Structure 1
Amino acid sequence: MEICTIMTRLGYGEMMRRWRVEKYRENDRLLNARSLNKQRNTIITAGSKAEGLTCFLESDWDVLFVLTDVLCVEADINLLTISDDIDVFRMDTMDTLVYPGHCRLLQERPAVHTRLSIIIKALCDNEYGGVLLSSSLLLDEYSALSLTHNAMLEHHERAGPSIPGTINGVHHIDRVIALRCSCPSILQRWADRRRKWPSPNIVQKVVSLGAFVTPVGFKGSDYKHMEWRICFNTGEAEFVNNLNDTQAKVYVILKMILRDIIKPNNKEITSYMLKNIILWQAENTPQTEFHSRSLLHWLHDGLKKLRTAIEKKRLCYYMIPERNLMEACGMHDYQQHKWVADITDMLEEGPNVFLRLKKLRKAIVASPEPMMWFSKKRMELEMLRLEYDNRQEEIREKDWKVDYSDSILEKIKSRKCDILIQVAQRMFLKVSSANQLIDIYNRMLM
Structure 2
Amino acid sequence: MCTLMNCLGYGPHIRQARRDAYREADRLMNARWTGIITEITSGSKAEGLTCFLESDWDWMYVLEGIMCLENGVDSDKLPRETTVFTLNTGVCYHGHSRLNLLERRGDMIPSQMLDSLCEDENGRFLLSSALVVDAVNSEWASMGNEILHERAGPSIPSSLGPLHTDNVISLRCHCPGILSRWAERTRHWPPPDIVHKVVTMGSFVTPVGFRGSEYQHLEWRICFNTGENELMSSLNNTQVYIYVLLKMVVKDVLKPVKKEITSYTVKNIVLWLAENNPQAQFNESSLFYWLREGLEKLRTSILKIELPYYMIPERNLMAACGLDEGQKCTWVNTITDMMNEGSHTLLRLPRIRKAIISHPEPLVWYNTKRVEMELLQLKLMNREIQCKDENGVVNWLDPMLQAILSRMYELVIEVHKRMNREGSRLNDLIEIRIMMLM
| TM-score bucket of the superposed structures, by smaller chain | over 0.9
TM-aligned CA distance change 1:70 to 1:114, over 3 Å: closer
TM-aligned CA distance change 1:396 to 1:429, over 3 Å: farther
d(CA) in 2 for partners of 1:89 and 1:57? Answer: 38
The residue that corresponds to 1:86 in the other structure is 82
Amino acid at match of 1:5: T
d(CA) in 1 for partners of 2:107 and 2:170? Answer: 21
Q: TM-score, normalised by structure 1?
A: 0.96
d(CA) in 1 for partners of 2:406 and 2:107? Answer: 51
Asked if 1 retains the 8 angstrom alpha-carbon contact of 2:93 and 2:210, the reply is yes
Q: Could you tell me how far 1:295 is from its partner in structure 2? A: 0.7
Unaligned runs of 5+ in 2: none
TM-aligned CA distance change 1:434 to 1:351, over 3 Å: closer
The residue that corresponds to 1:415 in the other structure is 407
Instruction: Provide, for residues 408-434 of structure 1, a one-character-per-residue CA deviation record: whole Å limited to 9, x for no partner.
Output: 00000000000000001111169xx99
d(CA) in 2 for partners of 1:327 and 1:112? Answer: 37
d(CA) in 2 for partners of 1:435 and 1:217? Answer: 48
Q: Could you tell me how far 1:435 is from its partner in structure 2? A: 7.5
d(CA) in 2 for partners of 1:163 and 1:365? Answer: 39
TM-aligned CA distance change 1:113 to 1:415, over 3 Å: same
Amino acid at match of 1:6: L
Instruction: Provide, for residues 372-409 of structure 1, a one-character-per-residue CA deviation record: whole Å limited to 9, x for no partner.
Output: 11001001101100100100111211111110010000
* Secondary structure in structure 1 of the residue aligned to 2:76: helix
Does the alignment pair 1:142 with 2:136? Answer: yes
Asked if 1 retains the 8 angstrom alpha-carbon contact of 2:170 and 2:207, the reply is yes
Does the alignment pair 1:219 with 2:199? Answer: no
The residue that corresponds to 1:27 in the other structure is 25
User: Alignment RMSD, CA only?
Assistant: 1.6
The residue that corresponds to 1:252 in the other structure is 244
- The partner residue of 1:173 within 162, 165, 169 is 165
The residue that corresponds to 2:275 in the other structure is 283
TM-aligned CA distance change 1:282 to 1:114, over 3 Å: closer
The residue that corresponds to 1:271 in the other structure is 263
The residue that corresponds to 2:42 in the other structure is 46
d(CA) in 2 for partners of 1:324 and 1:429? Answer: 53
Amino acid at match of 2:250: L
Identity, in percent, stands at: 50
Instruction: Report 1:154-165 matches (<5 A).
Output: 154-165=147-158
Moved over 2 A (4+): 107-115
Asked if 1 retains the 8 angstrom alpha-carbon contact of 2:65 and 2:106, the reply is no
Does the alignment pair 1:71 with 2:64? Answer: no
d(CA) in 2 for partners of 1:220 and 1:435? Answer: 50
Amino acid at match of 1:179: L
The residue that corresponds to 2:383 in the other structure is 391
* Secondary structure in structure 2 of the residue aligned to 1:79: coil
d(CA) in 1 for partners of 2:251 and 2:70? Answer: 38
The residue that corresponds to 1:61 in the other structure is 57
Asked if 1 retains the 8 angstrom alpha-carbon contact of 2:301 and 2:307, the reply is yes
* Secondary structure in structure 2 of the residue aligned to 1:71: strand
Amino acid at match of 1:375: N
Count of residue pairs brought into register by the alignment: 437
Asked if 1 retains the 8 angstrom alpha-carbon contact of 2:84 and 2:106, the reply is no
The residue that corresponds to 1:376 in the other structure is 368
The residue that corresponds to 2:111 in the other structure is 117
Does the alignment pair 1:345 with 2:341? Answer: no
- The partner residue of 1:198 within 190, 198, 201 is 190
* Secondary structure in structure 1 of the residue aligned to 2:420: coil
